[in-house]
Structure formats: C-alpha cells, structure tokens
Amino acid sequence: MIKLENVTKIFPGSDIPAVDNLSLDIKEGEVCVLVGPSGCGKTTTMKMINRIYDPTEGRIILGDKDIMDTNIIQLRLNIGYVIQEIGLFPHLSIEDNVATVPRELKWPKEKVKQRVDELLTLVGLEPEIYGKRRPSHLSGGQRQRVGVARAMAADPPVMLMDEPFGAVDPITRNRLQNEFLRLQEQLKKTIVFVTHDIDEAIKMGDKIAAMQEGRLIQYSDPDELLSTPKNEFVANLVGRNRSIKRLHLMHTRDVLNNDVAYVKLKTPLEEIEQKVKDSKLRAVMVLGDDNKLMGIISKEDIKREKGEVAADYYQEILNTCTDDATLNDALSVMLSYGEGFIAVTDGQERFKGIITVGDIFGVVKDDANDN
Amino acid sequence: MQMIIKNWFRWLGVPLILILISAAFVIYVVNNPGGAMAARSLTYQNILRYLREHVHLVFVALGLATAVGVPAGILLTRPKLRRIGKVVENIVNVGQTIPSLAILALFYVYLGLGFRTGVFALWLYCILPILRNTYAGIKSIEPGIIEAALGMGMNPVKILTRIELPLSYPVIMAGIRTAVVICVGTATMATFIGAGGLGDLIVTGLSVRRTIIILTGAFLSAMLAIILDYILGQVEQYLTGRDVNS
C-alpha cells in the first residue's frame, strides 16, 4: 500500500540527512509503527508521505502511484492526519473541526452532518453534547478522540498518526489505545504511527520499524523485535526485561484458566459453602442467565450476609477485564484493586474464566527460560 | 427582553451618552466663553467645522491604513516573504518611536501644506500598529494548527481565510483600535501643516492664551477617540460572538 524506496531527506542548511536511504513496505490494513529516540527521523519519514516535506532522494509509492505525480491537495485529502498536540482548530466547534475534510471534498450538507454524528459516536463522544463545543472545553483525552475522528472523516484508506496519544495521562492513554485497536480491527486502515514509546509501539503495531539517526535498523513484527533484536541499539530500545514487555503482546484469552468454581443465582447456601471451601481462591463466581458474570461470593460474604441462595450473598466484582485485553492491562487492574486474580469476560459480559498473578508470572518465567 | 435592552444600550446607549456629554460641553463653552476673544473662536459653526475636518482626516487616514496595513501584514507572513517580515517588523517598531510632529514636518517639506499631506502623514503613522498586529497575530498561531490544516489538504488561500484570519482577528482588531486612538490624537497636530481639525482650536487657544479654547479642542478630540474606540470594540465583540454561535 505504501512503499518507500531509498528515501533520503536532507533539510536545507544541514549536512546530516534527517532520513537516510530508507526503504519500507507497508501492507494494506497494517499498522506500521515508526519508533526510535527523538531526532531519529521518524516524524520526518511520516511527513514525507503526505508531502509536508518532499524527499530529497528516492520515491514514495502510495497505492500504485508515485506521490510526486499526484495532485498535492488530492493526496492530502485522501490521507487522514493526526499530529502531536492534535492541532484542532480552536475557533471552530467540534462538529466543524470534524467536518473539515468532507467540506473540502464538497460533500452535501446532509451527508456531512450525518458523517460527523456517526464519527463522534464512534469515538465515544455524544454529538448532541459535544458537537457544538469548542476544543478548549474538552479534556485532553476527548480532544485526542476528536483528532482521530477528524482524521477519519472522509474515510481515508491511509492514516498518519504522530504520537496521537502523547499528550494525555497514562490511564487515559491506555484506554484510548484499546479503543483505537478495537476500531482498527473493524476498519482495517493502513496506518503509519509514530511514537517514541516502545511499549506503545509493541501494543499498537502489526509491524515495527525501529529507527536510529535517520536509518531503519529493524523492520519486523513486534514478537520478532522482542525475541531477536537485530543489534545492540534495538536491544536497548526494547529493554532488558523483554519477557515483561511481551505482556503487551499476549491477550488474556491466551492464558485463561476456566477451571473455576461457579454457582448460579439460585444455588443454595450449602452447596456454595462447599464450593468456596474447595476453591483455591476461597471464593466462587456467581453467574446469571447466559453465563453473565453477576459477582463473587467469598468466605467473608457468607459470614456477613444472610439468606438461602447465591443471589442473597454475592458482591459486585470490579477486578474484571475483557478477553481481548493484554496481560499488561490485566496485571494493572489486579494491582489497582489489590487482588491476586482477575475475572475475564467476553464483550457481552459473559464469564470466560480467571487469570491469577501466578498465571502471569508463569508466562514471564516460561518466556525467560525460552530465551 | 432584558437581553435586547442591554444590547441596545451597549450598542447605542453608551456612545449616545458620550455624544450628549460632548454636546453639553460645547453648548456650555459657547454660551460662557469668558471673554470676547474666546467668543470669536468658540462659535457652533467653528467647532462643527473643526470637528468635521478632524473626523474627515481620521476616517480617510484610518481607512487607507487598514486597507494597506492588513494585506501588507498578511503578505509578510507568507513563506516567501518571511525573511523580510522580521526586518519590516523591526523597522515598524522603530518607526513608531518617531514623534508624530516630526513626521508631519518631514512630509510638509515634500508635499507642501494642506489636507493631503495631513492624511498622508497620519496614514503612515496609523499603518504601523495595524501592520504590526496583523503580522504578529498570524505569526502567533500555533504552527501545529497550520500544519494540521495543510495535512488535511487545505490550500493556502483557505488556510488564510478559514484558519489564520479568524484566529488572529482579535489581535488585528486591537491594532486597528490602537491606530484609531493614535490617529485621533495625532490629527490635532495636522493643524501645523494647515490640514485643519480640532488642532486649530488648540493652537488658537495657545496663541491667544485662552485655556477654554485649548480645553475645548482637547476635550472634543479625546471624546472622539473614546467613542470611536468604543464602537470598534463593540463591532469586534459582535463579530467574535457571532463566530462563537455559528
């Protein structure tokens, strides 16, 4: 989809190339993350794709056309663009911001309005509430969402994203990343994603391009980058404790433990007591209709509450995650609730199993032994 | 309903009150000139003529200054002229420090006496804050915003009209307002090159040593500056407010 062939960029007034003889082949529907320390040329490389900068040497092919042969305005209208600090227009409402490219493309008014509402809903912002607001009235995370919505407005096949989640706190960033991955699973855009954060790269990328001083050092999928770093630089970039980093790559569904005691809402007290006693967790899960996770009953709950069936005893369970979350996410949920395990559900809140801290350590240990 | 009354008052009420105060002042001094000498200068006919000349000077100079200053400021921010921009900005800043009287005197040498010389000198003097603010207003826009617009496929004309001008508009307006105040004040100097205006009153007052004549000229030109500045301020707010709700 995007092909860079021996691309070099030397800025005027500089002897050292910002990007040095770089070749890269990005397939359709893939997220390619350019990662490296600041000044490694990752942003410059990205900005050459929509011709914010023109390459000094080499060619960039988008689809099957050299970008230098495409009309520059047409080229840019067909590439979604999210930059650092987002660059929302402060004097325009959220709606008008998102509508920028569709209006440039002269879409009819009705269609623009419809598309804007659709996109705002997609990124989780109620159009009625947020549409008329100014960017300054939104939180950092909300602004990032608008930035992504704006870039997707005309449904471009290609998107360029320069640290799109850079300016928000770690918790919001994590949530935005997960939302973004879920969207990408449906939309299958070809994305060039720039970041200096190797963890983000591993999490977001189908392919990772590690760059240093304008050169491409290694281009491979995240698993390979972690297991066989090409040289000292990449090894340092991904860090020494690589097996821990793989927690970003593995999903909860991969290590799920479904041998867990559970009871139904109508299960009588005696049976609950027995199951709790036998359970390693000293607790049982309570499932409703269609295996929906309702809550949990621990030894203490049995003592404290009174009643006859499970429905009278169970407590809400907070330490849960979905089965497409990464092990890293699961571990941070456990840490934040101070629990040694986490209940895993699918997208419809149906109970899938649990993961304990021990399971996660097991993964890390196996991995360390493998290496 | 209360809103409408409030708006009406803001638009017309305040200038009207200021105009009434000025009118009352004029009526008072014409009826109590405190001597035959002052009475000869302070007639309704004279005062109105000076006022008209003054307003005429200010409007023509300011209109021309805006018509040239804003586009020139925009031009200086274009990539090709960016390098000159810095130089021009410095020249403009230095230019502002030249005393207005010196500028008037300078052009009198070349252009002779009269209205045209007055307008030209005022125009040159007013252009400075307008040009400087237009340039600074556009330059101060965060580069990321412009880059985002560029990356989304806006052409330079659209970036200017949709992004740069609306964003720098308050700064440009502030420049025009500064120019108005400077212009009304400086226009009193135009009397020295025979361009008329309220300065005539002040100079006459000085030469015949009648404070009340000086005071009339000074008071009216100050009122004129306040009223024009106020109206421009309201226009600015109105346009910004409309922008917010659109």
CB atoms A150 and B145 under 8 Å: no
Nearest to B148 among A77, A79, A81 (CB): A81
Chain A residues at the B interface, defined by Cβ less than 8 Å, are 50, 52, 73-77, 79, 81, 83-91, 100-101, 104, 134, 150, 160
Rounded to the nearest angstrom, the minimum Cα separation between B206 and chain A is 51
A252-368 belongs to CATH 3.90.1150.10: no
Rounded to the nearest angstrom, the minimum Cα separation between B140 and chain A is 13
| β-pairing verdict for A158-162 and A190-195 | parallel
Question: How many other C-beta atoms lie within 10 A of the C-beta of residue A56?
Answer: 15
- Partners of B147 on chain A (C-beta within 8 Å) are 52, 83, 87
- Partners of A87 on chain B (C-beta within 8 Å) are 142, 144-145, 147-149
For residue A7, the SS3 value is strand
| Domain A2-246 in this protein, CATH class | alpha beta
Q: Report pLDDT for B1.
A: 54
CA distance A144 to A176: 8
Does the pLDDT at position A269 exceed 80?
Answer: yes
* pLDDT per residue as tens digits for the range A159-207: 999 988 887 787 778 888 888 888 888 889 999 999 988 888 988 999 9
Nearest to A89 among B145, B155, B244 (CB): B145
* pLDDT per residue as tens digits for the range A110-157: 999 999 999 898 888 888 999 999 998 988 888 888 988 898 888 899
Indicate the residue type of A83: I
Q: Report pLDDT for A218.
A: 92
CB atoms B152 and A90 under 8 Å: no
CA distance B161 to B169: 11
Task: Provide mean pLDDT across the span B204-232.
Answer: 91
Does the pLDDT at position A344 exceed 50?
Answer: yes
In contact, A195 and A237? CB cutoff 8 Å: no
Q: Which long-range contacts (CB under 8 A, 24 or more apart) does A289-293 make?
A: A290/A350, A291/A350, A291/A351, A292/A348, A292/A349, A292/A350, A292/A351, A293/A317, A293/A320, A293/A343, A293/A345, A293/A349, A293/A350, A293/A351
Name which of B2-11, B74-83, B227-236 the model is least confident about.
Answer: B2-11
CB distance from B142 to chain A under 8 Å?
yes
Categorize the per-residue pLDDT at A367 as very low, low, confident or very high, splitting at 50, 70 and 90: low
CB atoms B154 and A52 under 8 Å: no
Does the pLDDT at position B246 exceed 50?
Answer: no
Rounded to the nearest angstrom, the minimum Cα separation between B83 and chain A is 15
Nearest to B153 among A77, A84, A88 (CB): A77
Most trustworthy range by pLDDT among A27-36, B115-124, B193-202: A27-36
Q: Report pLDDT for A172.
A: 79
**What's the Cα-to-Cα distance from B211 to each of B30, B54, B205, B220, rounded to whole Å?**
14, 20, 6, 14
Question: What proportion of chain A, given as a percentage, has pLDDT over 70?
Answer: 97
Q: What DSSP assignment string belongs to B197-224?
A: STHHHHHHHHHHT-HHHHHHHHHHHHHH
Kindly give the interhelix angle for B44-77 and B199-208, rounded to the nearest 10 degrees: 130
Q: Report pLDDT for B80.
A: 81
Categorize the per-residue pLDDT at A299 as very low, low, confident or very high, splitting at 50, 70 and 90: confident
CB distance from B84 to chain A under 8 Å?
no
- Partners of B140 on chain A (C-beta within 8 Å) are none
Task: Provide mean pLDDT across the span B96-110.
Answer: 80
Nearest alpha carbon to residue A56 among A2, A17, A13: A17
Write the burial class of residue A264 (CB in 10 Å: 0-12 exposed, 13-18 middle, 19+ buried): middle
- Partners of B156 on chain A (C-beta within 8 Å) are none
CB distance from B153 to chain A under 8 Å?
yes
Q: For A108-125, give one letter per residue: b (16+ CB within 10 A) or e.
A: eeeebbebbbebbebbeb
The CATH number for B89's domain is 1.10.3720.10
Categorize the per-residue pLDDT at B2 as very low, low, confident or very high, splitting at 50, 70 and 90: low
Does the pLDDT at position B25 exceed 90?
Answer: yes
Does the pLDDT at position A240 exceed 80?
Answer: no
- Partners of A90 on chain B (C-beta within 8 Å) are 145, 167
Does the pLDDT at position A243 exceed 80?
Answer: no
CB distance from B242 to chain A under 8 Å?
no
CA distance A348 to A344: 11
Task: Provide mean pLDDT across the span B11-29.
Answer: 89
Segments forming the whole domain that contains residue B99: 2-245
CA distance A243 to A306: 46
Categorize the per-residue pLDDT at A309 as very low, low, confident or very high, splitting at 50, 70 and 90: confident
Q: Report pLDDT for A368.
A: 61
CB atoms B145 and A90 under 8 Å: yes
Nearest to B144 among A74, A83, A101 (CB): A83
Categorize the per-residue pLDDT at A279 as very low, low, confident or very high, splitting at 50, 70 and 90: confident
- Partners of B151 on chain A (C-beta within 8 Å) are 50, 52, 76, 79, 81, 83, 160
More confident residue, B38 or B54: B54
Q: Report pLDDT for B103.
A: 79
Does the pLDDT at position A93 exceed 50?
Answer: yes
Nearest to B152 among A90, A91, A101 (CB): A101
CA distance B121 to B103: 6
| Closest chain B residue to the Cα of A132, Cα to Cα | B245
**Residues in a beta bridge with A341:** A356
Write the burial class of residue B51 (CB in 10 Å: 0-12 exposed, 13-18 middle, 19+ buried): buried
Helices (H), A211-304: 222-227, 232-238, 242-245, 269-278, 299-304
CB atoms B152 and A104 under 8 Å: yes
Task: Provide mean pLDDT across the span B43-57.
Answer: 91
Does the pLDDT at position B185 exceed 80?
Answer: yes
Categorize the per-residue pLDDT at A85 as very low, low, confident or very high, splitting at 50, 70 and 90: low
- Domain chopping of chain A, boundaries: 2-246, 252-368
Task: Provide mean pLDDT across the span B184-190.
Answer: 88
CB distance from B155 to chain A under 8 Å?
yes
Q: Taking all residues of chain A, what is their mean pLDDT, rounded to a whole number? A: 86
In contact, A57 and A7? CB cutoff 8 Å: yes
Q: Report pLDDT for B241.
A: 63
Categorize the per-residue pLDDT at B244 as very low, low, confident or very high, splitting at 50, 70 and 90: very low
Q: How remote is the C-alpha of B118 from its chain's centroid?
A: 14
Does the pLDDT at position B245 exceed 60?
Answer: no
Phi-psi region of A63 (alpha: psi -120 to 50; beta: other; left: phi over 0): left
Does the pLDDT at position A39 exceed 80?
Answer: yes
Nearest to B166 among A76, A91, A160 (CB): A91
More confident residue, A272 or B225: B225
Categorize the per-residue pLDDT at B19 as very low, low, confident or very high, splitting at 50, 70 and 90: very high
CB atoms A87 and B243 under 8 Å: no
CA distance A162 to B162: 24
CA distance B33 to B26: 10
How many domains is chain B built from?
Answer: 1
Categorize the per-residue pLDDT at B107 as very low, low, confident or very high, splitting at 50, 70 and 90: confident
